[in-house]
Amino acid sequence: MTKLFTCLLTVALLALASSLASAHDPSSLQDFCVAVNNSNSAVFVNGKFCKDPKLTTADDFFLPGLDVPGSTSNQVGSNVTLINVDRFPGLNTLGIALARVDYAPYGLNPPHIHPRATEIQTVIEGTLLVGFVTSNPDNRFITKVLNKGDVFVFPMGLIHFQFNIGETNALAFSSLSSQNPGVITIANATFGSNPPINPDVLAKAFQLDKTSNMTKLFTCLLTVVLLALASSLASAHDPSPLQDFCVAVNNPDSAGMYLLYYALVNGKFCKDPKLTTVDDFIFMGLDVPRNTLNQLGSNVTLVNVDMFPGLNTLGIALAHVDYAPYGLNPPHIHPRASKLLTVIEGTLLVGFVTSNPDN
């Protein structure tokens, strides 16, 4: 076993070394950097101080309680429990965050953007109407009804929402490709700023006379989104897709004329954005348990860019893992990604080993 372990580590280090040359996600430069508030303990890294790695414990990488629904007794009938680096210091420098979203019947997670993250959402219960709007000049509204087990991706920096159109509560989990995705709720940022934006500015921007007019409101919202996007791109450290999205096509021929304008992007060709449909941003069937009748008693359904072309350039992927009783997902590494695991059912023993020389 010792030799096997050494061998595994060598393979892991080789894989890591080769990945660092080509990875486009941010590198944390060390295994992790659990955030602490005490400025005397270390140097300044990505906005947070690092705890001495030797003093970290398993609890730095653990957060219980995401099985508890958030209260949806509020005006919009939804509740987002965002687990970012402020709630979960172990996420620091890892480029990932998570949210649990509860929806009352007809509850709405109102139009908002994450200036620094792509979001990939899985519906656990209920039926959601979701959508996002592409940037200027097209402003295409891409929308879909999602059911249990459906996965949808909201590209970074685009205005999006989810609306529970069912008569029962709905539940979804989202992963976000930044330790601090940020949220800008459009209506609040525009009409509820502190101090308020001068009404003349709003009136001019919205081309309103007095009371609000939805057509104009929408135009203004998009302007706000674009301003927010522009300001976020300047400071984002996660990868930028350089355009709203780049739905991958395997066969360059199917990209047709578009290839004349768009070269190879991150290893995949982009579909002509005008030819994309809502189906490019949805993946279905994650509610179906996978067959665990194999030697390990587990089955990983990895939803990466090869299975879900809409993820291309967005820096995020998702996995659904089924475990039989005493099933094992054996020791492995993801050379290009941090992983945030949420247990939906059952009891798991999990662990990871730090790099040399401490291990």
Ligand X SMILES: *[C@@H]1O[C@H](CO)[C@@H](O)[C@H](O)[C@H]1NC(C)=O
Interface ranges with ligand X (CB under 6 A): 35, 37, 70-71, 74-75, 79, 89, 185, 188, 192, 213-216, 290-291, 294, 299
On whether 109 is known to bind a ligand per the annotation, the reply is yes
Q: How far is the CB of 78 from ligand X (least distance, A)?
A: 8
Report which secondary-structure segment, H or E, holds 217: helix 214-235
- Which residues fall within 8 angstroms of residue 291, CB to CB, at 6 or more apart? 299
Pick the closest to residue 155 from 122, 177, 139, 186 (CA basis): 177
Runs of H (alpha helix) within the chain: 2-22, 186-191, 199-206, 214-235, 252-255
Q: How far is the CB of 109 from ligand X (least distance, A)?
A: 10
Q: How far is the CB of 291 from ligand X (least distance, A)?
A: 3
Q: How far is the CB of 90 from ligand X (least distance, A)?
A: 10
Q: Which is nearer to ligand X, 57 or 359 (CB)?
A: 57
Q: Which is nearer to ligand X, 140 or 216 (CB)?
A: 216
Distance separating alpha carbons of residues 318 and 324, to the nearest angstrom: 20
Is residue 30 within 8 Å of 52, Cβ to Cβ? Answer: no
Q: Which is nearer to ligand X, 68 or 275 (CB)?
A: 68
Q: How far is the CB of 304 from ligand X (least distance, A)?
A: 15
On whether 320 is known to bind a ligand per the annotation, the reply is no
What's phi and psi for 289, nearest 5 deg?
Answer: -65, 145
- Which residues fall within 8 angstroms of residue 217, CB to CB, at 6 or more apart? 206
On whether 160 is known to bind a ligand per the annotation, the reply is yes
Give the amino acid at 222.
L
Q: Which is nearer to ligand X, 9 or 187 (CB)?
A: 187
In the chain, DSSP assigns E strands to 35-36, 44-45, 48-50, 78-83, 97-103, 108-113, 119-125, 128-133, 141-146, 151-154, 160-164, 170-176, 184-185, 248-249, 269-270, 282-283, 298-303, 318-323
On whether 125 is known to bind a ligand per the annotation, the reply is no
Q: Which is nearer to ligand X, 188 or 304 (CB)?
A: 188
Distance separating alpha carbons of residues 315 and 306, to the nearest angstrom: 13
Distance separating alpha carbons of residues 341 and 91, to the nearest angstrom: 12
Q: How far is the CB of 185 from ligand X (least distance, A)?
A: 4
Q: Which is nearer to ligand X, 144 or 216 (CB)?
A: 216
Q: How far is the CB of 79 from ligand X (least distance, A)?
A: 4
Q: Which is nearer to ligand X, 60 or 280 (CB)?
A: 60
Q: Which is nearer to ligand X, 28 or 329 (CB)?
A: 329
**Bridge partners for 164 per DSSP:** 128
What's phi and psi for 259, nearest 5 deg?
Answer: -65, -25
The separation between the first and the last C-alpha atoms of the chain, rounded to the nearest angstrom, is 15
Pick the closest to residue 157 from 250, 87, 72, 222 (CA basis): 222
Residues placed in the known binding site: 109, 112, 114, 119, 160
Residues placed in the known binding site for Mn(2+): 112, 114, 119, 160
Residues placed in the known binding site for oxalate: 109, 114, 119
